[in-house]
Amino acid sequence: MRGNDPKQQALFSYISPEARVPKDHPLRPIRIMVDNALQDLAPLFKKMYSHTGRPSIPPEQLLRASLLQVLYTIRSERMLVEQLDYNLLFRWFVGLSLEDKVWDHSTFSKNRDRLIEHEVATAFFQAIKGRAERAGLLSKEHFTVDGTLIEAWASMKSFRPKDDQDPPAPGSRNPEVDFKGQKRKNETHQSTTDPDCRLLRKSQGKESKLCFMGHALMENRNGLVVDSRLTEANGTAEWHAALEMIENLPGTNRVTVGADKGYDVPVFVDGLRERLATPHVARKDKGTAIDGRTTRHEGYRVSQKIRKRVEEIFGWLKTVGCLRKTRYRGLDRVGWIFEFSMTAYNLVRMRNLIWAV
């Protein structure tokens, strides 16, 4: 018997978004961890807002929505709001019912400065990290450090001399610029779109780009990020940021720190030894600062094998987390989304470690 094709939809629905989400959906364990972490941040949220006036959109919902944007590679807040309007899974994760009205996309921009000012991304990262530590997922002795370039939201045309006061040629919002043969350096030039980014190339033979530099400190047991930061891009930023992250590690026990050949320089190796850290750094073919007292141990070879996992973190951030080219401008905003994306990576990794069958 052929079924009917009704043209009129039902007026009422008695099924909640919770019932629509499968019990084994991968977002369910992430939602549990996020809710517990946000509950820990309730005192911070209370300080962020006035006790009088019109109620705001809950910061918990904004953070859950931003987390969805990272996890599902949604390239803009406009598209995210559109998805929240009709996607039952997204409504359930954020905490919206079917009847709740979705806020405007400008809400994210208006609240971002407030979240940056109160360092919410750092507090959220530490809350998730604390859950990983209580679950016994973190190593306290063996770590790996690495850095990557995050391309800035600025074109090479915007990289102009600092003392150039001449406005661009009229007639087009994207005028022709010929900088062939010019020497363009960070000392004399600056981007008019994002003054915080710097011109840098990854290695010999690679093109120069306007970018920032992101750093990550990974523990070697399960490949979780225990610290991260974003800095200006320059030739020594990797070493100094890595030493700063190592110095902030809790405890006084000696640790090992793995790294690639880019960290095989005296300033970094000696800095690790001053901080009671054993440098398990890959050796250069010439001019190495690593000697036999380190490489003779079996632990050195183990660190060299595990340290490559840190590339998986940056690979995830750039493919899934939309950080191959940042959508924001300024060191503070890019640093905020960089640390927030690191938290998203840890959540995915912890879900696989804790709830994997």
Per-residue model confidence as pLDDT tens digits over 63-91 = 999 999 999 999 899 999 999 999 999 99
Considering the domain boundaries, does residue 170 fall inside one? no
* Residue 89: predicted pLDDT: 94
Establish if 161 belongs to a structural domain: no
Specify the DSSP element, H or E, that contains 208: strand 208-219
- Does 56 fall in a domain? yes
Query: What pLDDT is stored for residue 346 in this prediction?
Result: 97
Torsion sign over Cα 130, 135, 141, 147: negative
Domain region containing 315: 138-152+211-327
Phi, psi of 235 (to 5 degrees): -70, -20
Give the pLDDT score at 172. 63
* pLDDT, mean of residues 25-30: 94
Q: For residue range 254-288, what is the model confidence (pLDDT) as tens digits? A: 899 999 999 999 999 999 999 989 999 999 988 89
pLDDT attached to residue 210: 95
Higher pLDDT among residues 198 and 253, named by residue: 198
Contact yes or no for 225/313 (Cβ under 8 A): yes
What percent of the chain lies above the pLDDT cut of 90?
Answer: 69
CB 71 within 8 A of CB 29: no
Q: Examine residue 99 and state whether it is found in any structural domain, yes or no.
A: yes
How confident is residue 357, by pLDDT bands cut at 50, 70 and 90? very low
Statement to judge: residues 108 and 250 lie in one domain: no
Decide if 2 is inside a domain. no
Q: Are 148 and 155 in contact (CB under 8 A)?
A: no
Q: In the 8-state DSSP scheme, what is residue 199?
A: E
| pLDDT band per the 50, 70, 90 thresholds, residue 19 | confident
Q: Which ranges of 237-277 would DSSP assign to H, the alpha helix?
A: 237-247, 266-274
> What is the average pLDDT score of the chain?
90
The token duo for 184 is 């363009």
Sequence-ordered list of residues with C-beta below 8 angstroms from that of 72, at least 6 positions apart, any chain: 83
What pLDDT is recorded for position 52?
Answer: 84
What CATH number does the domain containing 289 carry? 3.30.420
| Global pTM value | 0.91
Give SS3 for 206.
coil
Q: How many domains does the chain have?
A: 2
Q: How far is CA 120 from CA 117, 214, 273, 308, 317, in A?
A: 8, 19, 33, 30, 19
